[in-house]
Amino acid sequence: MAGKAEAIGPRNGHELAPLNARADGSERPHGVTIVLQGSRGSLQREAPDEDRAAWSGKLQFFLSIIGYSVGLGNIWRFPYLCQQNGGGAFLIPFLIMLVLEGIPLFLIEMAIGQKMRLGSLGVWNTIHPWLGGIGISSCMVTLFVALYYNVIITWVFFYLFNSIRLSADSLPWAHCPVDNGTREAECNKASSTVYFWYREALDASPSIDEPGVPRWWIVLYLLLAWIIVFFIVMKGIQSSGKVVYFTSLFPYIVLTIFFIRGVTLPGSADGIIHMYKPKLEKLLDPTVWLDAATQVFYSFGLAFGSLIAFGSYNPPNNNCVRDVLLVSVCNALTAIYASVVIFSILGFKAFTMVETCMTKEIKILAALNVSGFTPTSSHDYYREEFDNLNDSLVAKYNLTGCTMSRQLEEAAEGTGLAFIVFTQAILKLTPAPFWSIIFFMMLLSLGLGSQIGIMEGMLCTIFDIDFFKRLSKPVITGIVCTFCFFVGLIFTTGAGEYWLKMFDSFAGTIGLVVVALLEMVAVIYIYGHVRFTNDIYEMTGYRPGLYWQITWRYVGPFIVTCILLSSLVFMLINPPTYGAWNADEVSPI
């Protein structure tokens, strides 16, 4: 109707402001609408909180999620699980658990954060005041994980700076130190890479009860790590959102460089085949399925509150279902791709170790005047004749046969893979310092990407507490980072790695699984699966069907409960332990 709009008359003693105006008379920004819900007889504002931070674009959001969920576990945990749990057959339980557990819980966290536009604490308090403890618990667990996760970044810094050398021989873990013409005894018993890790990097103590003083070089690198993290997250996604373009994309560039180089090396095909050769009988082992479920759970970074925080920065009409599916596929493919890269390099390492082993054993056999063997005998001849050797001779001189499978079955994960096994493989590449630098830069990018997400989940929860709203984000972030640095000094002692393993066993497992289970119960059974389904439909135009309903209400909670119970039982039967470095045995015990 043309002409001047009529004023709305008084109703029930209260005069309503025009729909384009606020209660104080100021005009609303364009695009803000008021939706009238007749069933409630009230006006509900469906606009985003104007004070809430928001992503600058879809790409920034996607890269932040990728940088957070694709972490160190994709590099040093997933390949190990594949190798130990049936090779290519492990992909079957992994993908099944991804569909039944990972994706449904991922969507719960993303969608509930986007709907309520609050952090973890605010979301659970909104659903029910008694559920605020879920947010607090998540924040506490995240704090513990952030403490030791930055220590891993500290160790990466140490190796990165020690990689800046002019030649392969100058890499500090290439050779054992020599004193007065004699190799250091501890290094001579172990290997140069093992010695460098336990003695030069960590200066490991005999036990957790004898930590010694903080190692000053680790303290300095830890300080550097926390300073960098502070400047990245000090302004929330306004500052961290700019960094994710590097931390998310650079690892893929490095993986591709290693892939191109790796597949051209001798032995790489053997490494890849060894890893993905399916052992279908392993599928009958329940622990394989449990490992798959656990890997999916942790690979997404569920229950930290970070995904809820990331979702809360999205506009209300963002298609979170599509985002969840894209990130899930990308996460799984990255883990598989990284495994191919890692084992192509480890296959090359095994090949060089086998060549060295055969040369050594040929010389032993030649010195013993074994018929047919000379110091110049070929490796092919050694392979042909080894099975014909006398068993007592083989046992007496500890002859191994020098097979690829024997080398490849020496599995390693975590810090052992990154700082010992892979550093040894890098020594075989030319130029070694270049490969070492880009490898540790990749680990640094992966570590920082995950740490950004971990800190964002924790800080978003803190920002939702009324008491802290009077302080600026940089101040709160500075206080948290300073606190974490001083508490983290425990990891800079000679027992630092032992403490990290204990923290990871307790703080990073049971607590997160409990929080995840409570999240599913809170959203699906207290908030209501029907209401949650309607929320997703309102935001995306897509109504979750039978698959989502079954996995949310039954399958997902059942799998998470199984993970929780099995973890508790395993912890009771086998209390968490740590491998302390024994200088005499030159191995962890």
Over residues 214-257, the pLDDT tens digits come to 999 999 999 999 999 999 999 888 888 889 999 999 999 999 99
Three-class SS string for 371-431? CCCCCCCCHHHHHHHHCCCCHHHHHHCCCCCCCHHHHHCCCCCHHHHHHHHHHHHHCCCCC
Q: Shortest CA distance to 437 belongs to which of 70, 193, 173, 159?
A: 159
Residue 179: both structure tokens together:
């004193």
| 588: pLDDT strictly greater than 80 | no
What is the tens place of the pLDDT at every residue in 509-559? 788 899 999 999 999 999 999 999 999 999 999 999 999 999 999 999 999
Return the exposure string of 215-251: e unless at least 16 CB atoms fall within 10 Å of the residue's CB, then b. beebbebbeebbebbbebbbbbbebbbebbeebbebb
pLDDT band per the 50, 70, 90 thresholds, residue 290: confident
What is the tens place of the pLDDT at every residue in 96-111? 999 999 999 999 999 9
Pairing verdict, β 182-183 and 581-582? unpaired
Q: Is 3 annotated as a binding residue?
A: no
**Cα–Cα dist 228/246, whole Å:** 14
Q: Is 450 annotated as a binding residue?
A: yes
User: What would you report as the CA-atom Rg of the chain, rounded to the nearest whole angstrom?
Assistant: 28
Average per-residue pLDDT for the chain: 86
Does 375 sit behind a cis peptide bond, omega within 30 degrees of 0 on the bond before it?
no
**Cα–Cα dist 497/512, whole Å:** 21
pLDDT band per the 50, 70, 90 thresholds, residue 125: very high
Q: Which of 2.40.128, 3.30.420, 1.20.1740, 1.10.1740 would CATH assign to domain 58-582?
A: 1.20.1740
Q: Is 299 annotated as a binding residue?
A: yes
Q: Is 74 annotated as a binding residue?
A: yes
Res 257: pLDDT: 96
Q: Shortest CA distance to 515 belongs to which of 479, 467, 563, 474?
A: 563
Beta carbons within 8 Å of 392's beta carbon, 6+ residues apart = none
Greater confidence, 302 or 505? 302
Cα atoms in the 13 Å half-sphere on the side-chain side of 431: 10
With contact defined as beta carbons under 8 Å apart, do 538 and 481 qualify?
no
| 134: pLDDT strictly greater than 60 | yes
pTM of the predicted protein model: 0.86
Cα atoms in the 13 Å half-sphere on the side-chain side of 528: 4
Name the residue ranges covered by the structural domains of the chain: 58-582
Return the exposure string of 513-551: e unless at least 16 CB atoms fall within 10 Å of the residue's CB, then b. bbbbbbbbebbbeebeeeebbebbeebbeeebeeebeeb
